[in-house]
C-alpha cells in the first residue's frame, strides 16, 4: 500500500461551500480556501488556486450547484435562466480545458426533466458529486491501462502536474506511478519544472514526494540532455483538450517534449479521460489557447526577473499534433495511430456498453 492517500484532495463539497486545496501556496504551505460564491469559484479557477482539467470541471460543477442552491425564484423557467447565466460565467473562467464545459453541460442536462426547483437543486448537487466520484475511478483505470506500457526501473519524463491534485484522485499522467508503487514496480520520474508558473516543481515534485514516488526535478531546458543522459524510456503527459484527430492541447512545453521524444525515438504518451475529448472539433487549430498575464513570465513566484515593461508572449498551452503521439491512454483503453477512426470507434463502443 502506498501513502498516496496522504495527498490532500483538490476539491471537497461541504454543502454550504466548496473547500479547495490552495495550489497557489504549494509546496511551502498546505492551505485550504473556502469558496462561497460563484465569484469565489471563478477567481479560484482563474488564479490557479485550483487547476488541472478534471479538477477545474469538478470545481465548476460544484460552483454551479452551490449558486443554484441560493436562487430564490419560485419559477422553474426563471431558475433555468439564472442557471444558464451562472453556467456561462463559470465557463468563461478558462478557455482551453474542455472538461469545464463538459462538467457544466452534464449538470444542466441532469435537470432537463426536473419538475420542481427543489428537485433541480438536489439533482445538481448529486450530479456534481457523481462527477467527482466517477473521476476517481476513471483516473484509476487510466493508471491501470498505462501500467502495461512500462517496465520495472523505467525512467519516465513528464511536464506540468497531471496528478492527484489536478483531478479527483490519482491523476491522469501520474496515475500509473501510484499504481506501480503499489506493485513495487519502481518507476522513476523526471519532472520538468514547467515555467512560467512552475506546476512541475511546485506541484508534481511535491505531490510525488508526498506519495513516496521517486522523482527528480529538472528545468524545462534540461529535457533533451536528460533524455539522452538518463536513458528516458517514455514521456507521459496530461491533456486539456483532444481534437477528433488526436491533436492535443496541454501545458506549454508539451509540444517541445513531443518533438524531442520523436527525435530520440522515445514513446510519447498522452493520458486523459474521455471528458477531455472534444468531438466538436476536427483538429488542434480549433482549440482556443489561453494567454495569461505577462507578469507570470516577467516574474518567478512574485520576484521580478525581467525588465518591468518588456513585451511578453504567454500562451498557457500548446498543441501537440497527433502524429507525434504514440498513444492516448484513456479509462476505456489506449488508442494509437489512426486517431480519427480509433477515437470515433472508442466513443461508439462506450455508447453501446
Ligand atoms: O494551467 P494548468 O495548471 O491548469 O494546466 C494543467 C495541464 O496542462 C494538465 O496537464 C492538464 O490539465 C491535465 S490534468 C490531469
pLDDT for the residue 3: 53
pLDDT in tens, 88-120: 999 999 999 999 999 999 999 999 999 999 999
Distance from C-alpha of 126 to C-alpha of 122, rounded to nearest angstrom: 6
pLDDT for the residue 1: 40
Q: Is 97 in the pocket of ligand 1 (CB under 6 A)?
A: yes
pLDDT for the residue 21: 98
pLDDT at 313 over 70: yes
Q: Is 160 in the pocket of ligand 1 (CB under 6 A)?
A: yes
Q: What is the pTM of this model?
A: 0.97
pLDDT for the residue 5: 59
Distance from C-alpha of 273 to C-alpha of 291, rounded to nearest angstrom: 24
pLDDT at 83 over 90: yes
pLDDT at 34 over 90: yes
Residue with grid cell 522523482, as numbered in its chain:
215
pLDDT in tens, 115-145: 999 999 999 999 999 999 999 999 999 999 9
Which one of 57, 220, 240 would you pick to mutate in the ligand 1 pocket, going by the greatest count of ligand atoms within 8 A of its CB?
240
Angle at 177 between CA 343 and CA 193, to 5 degrees: 90
pLDDT at 2 over 80: no
- The stretch 61-83 carries a mean pLDDT of 98
- What distance in angstroms lies between residue 249's CA and the mean position of ligand 1's atoms? 9
Distance from C-alpha of 284 to C-alpha of 270, rounded to nearest angstrom: 15
Q: Is 163 in the pocket of ligand 1 (CB under 6 A)?
A: no
| Residue 293 among the catalytic residues | no
Question: Which ligand 1 atom sits closest to the C-alpha of 51?
Answer: 4
Q: Is 171 in the pocket of ligand 1 (CB under 6 A)?
A: yes
Q: Is 53 in the pocket of ligand 1 (CB under 6 A)?
A: yes
The active-site residue, picked from 78, 154, 184, 240, is 240
List of long-range contacts for 73-81, beta carbons under 8 Å, 24+ apart: 73/117, 74/117, 76/114, 76/115, 76/116, 76/117, 76/120, 79/117, 79/120, 80/111
pLDDT at 4 over 80: no
Q: What is the chain's mean pLDDT, rounded?
A: 96
pLDDT at 22 over 60: yes
pLDDT for the residue 351: 81
Distance from C-alpha of 267 to C-alpha of 64, rounded to nearest angstrom: 39
pLDDT band at 6 (very low <50, low <70, confident <90, very high): confident
Residues in contact with 78: Cβ distance below 8 Å, sequence separation at least 6, in sequence order: none
Amino acid at each position: 500500500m502506498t501513502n498516496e492517500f496522504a495527498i490532500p484532495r483538490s476539491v471537497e463539497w461541504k454543502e454550504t461551500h466548496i473547500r479547495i486545496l490552495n495550489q497557489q501556496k504549494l509546496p511551502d504551505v498546505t492551505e485550504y480556501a473556502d469558496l462561497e460564491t460563484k465569484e469565489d469559484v471563478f477567481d479560484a479557477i482563474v488564479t490557479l488556486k485550483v487547476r488541472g482539467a478534471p479538477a477545474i470541471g469538478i470545481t465548476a460543477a460544484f460552483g454551479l450547484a452551490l449558486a443554484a442552491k441560493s436562487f430564490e425564484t419560485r419559477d422553474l423557467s426563471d431558475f433555468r435562466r439564472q442557471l444558464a447565466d451562472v453556467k456561462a460565467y463559470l465557463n468563461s473562467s478558462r478557455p482551453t480545458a474542455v472538461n469545464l464545459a463538459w462538467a457544466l453541460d452534464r449538470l444542466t442536462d441532469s435537470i432537463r426533466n426536473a419538475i420542481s426547483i427543489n428537485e433541480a437543486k438536489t439533482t445538481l448537487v448529486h450530479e456534481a458529486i457523481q462527477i467527482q466520484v466517477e473521476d476517481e475511478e476513471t483516473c484509476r483505470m487510466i493508471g491501470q491501462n498505462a501500467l502495461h506500457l512500462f517496465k520495472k526501473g523505467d525512467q519516465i519524463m513528464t511536464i506540468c502536474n497531471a496528478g492527484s491534485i489536478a483531478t479527483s484522485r490519482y491523476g491522469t499522467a501520474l496515475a500509473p506511478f501510484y499504481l506501480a508503487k503499489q506493485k513495487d514496480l519502481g518507476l522513476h520520474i523526471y519532472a520538468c519544472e514547467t515555467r512560467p508558473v512552475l506546476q512541475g516543481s511546485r506541484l508534481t515534485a511535491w505531490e510525488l514526494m508526498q506519495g513516496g514516488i521517486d522523482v527528480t526535478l529538472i528545468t524545462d531546458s534540461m529535457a533533451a540532455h536528460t533524455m539522452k543522459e538518463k536513458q528516458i524510456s517514455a514521456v507521459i503527459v496530461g491533456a486539456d483538450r483532444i481534437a477528433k484527430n488526436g491533436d492535443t492541447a496541454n501545458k506549454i512545453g508539451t509540444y517541445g517534449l513531443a518533438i524531442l521524444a520523436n527525435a530520440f525515438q522515445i514513446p510519447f504518451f498522452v493520458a486523459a479521460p474521455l471528458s477531455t475529448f472534444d468531438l466538436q472539433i476536427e483538429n488542434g487549430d480549433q482549440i482556443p489557447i489561453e494567454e495569461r498575464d505577462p507578469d507570470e513570465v516577467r516574474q518567478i513566484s512574485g520576484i521580478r526577473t525581467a525588465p518591468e515593461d518588456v513585451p511578453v508572449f504567454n500562451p498557457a498551452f500548446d498543441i501537440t499534433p497527433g502524429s507525434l503521439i504514440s498513444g492516448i491512454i484513456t479509462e476505456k483503453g489506449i488508442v494509437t495511430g489512426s486517431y480519427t477512426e480509433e477515437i470515433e470507434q472508442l466513443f461508439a463502443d462506450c455508447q453501446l456498453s
